[in-house]
Structure 1
Amino acid sequence: MTDLDDTDRAILRALAGDATLSAGALGRRVELSQPATWRRIKRLEEAGIIAGRRVIVNREALGFGVTVFLGIKLAAKGRVGLEDFERAVSAIPEVQIVQHVLGLFDYRLRVVARDIADFERVLRRRIMTLPGVGQVEANVLLSEERRIGPI
């Protein structure tokens, strides 16, 4: 792991809040020249600390007003069962995140839908018909606060 100083952490915090910042704008925030800031960003990327930059899409503006977290317990376990499930669930466009977890459920999914009726259609026609699906628990997202993690 690369040793991070306060300036590296400031760069990471700024990029986590707005990944579109140029090296010049970022340098002004952290009181470094544009070339020095660029070198630090490259070093952080090469060390694997910055793994990419993402755009946050406003799902509601696209008409997806409902987000549901599903806990899925597979009826049959085993390597083949896990791989079949992961391949099939990853092909469903409404499933935004697939997490293999340890605990009561085997998987946690983040599913988006236009409304509750649309979610019910996705659940019944796509998710419940996946290979190996046993128990399912749904939690509807009411609100979300985005936070920058520890840096």
Structure 2
Amino acid sequence: MTFNRRIVIGILVLVLVVGGAFLFEHVIKVQGSRKGILVPVVQNSKTIAYLDAGTIRQLGQQERELSQGQSNSNSNNEVSLSFVLGSAGIIDYQCIEVGGVGDSQDFKLSPQDIEVIALSSNSNSTFAMVNKAEGNRVMIKEVAKFNVAN
């Protein structure tokens, strides 16, 4: 086999591997979004972050570490929605639209409403939205999307 032919075959293999990796990533994102495992945070029609149950647990731990001196009633697998939005760099918004998997009701939350909302990870790699002011009432059992409106 000539040297030029080896180079062409090597480049083709690299293109196929890189293309396959991008395709695999896209398929996983789409499947995760449909099942509520990978939740996109969309602002101005652009996805700015993805959340999953592991991220929610990690952010909850960070929030508890930051507020050790203050009274924080979040359990081990909860984090406040305001902390999650701040971690994603979202500070200026008019409302947040939160949707669930399947036939779940969508909620529009103002910045004042968000202060009493927490996200809690579930055992099936999804997370729920709960209202702390109403005694941890589950608003959405499996969150599927966040849409930020400016």
TM-score (ref. length: structure 1):
0.25
TM-score (ref. length: structure 2):
0.25
Higher-strand-fraction structure: 2
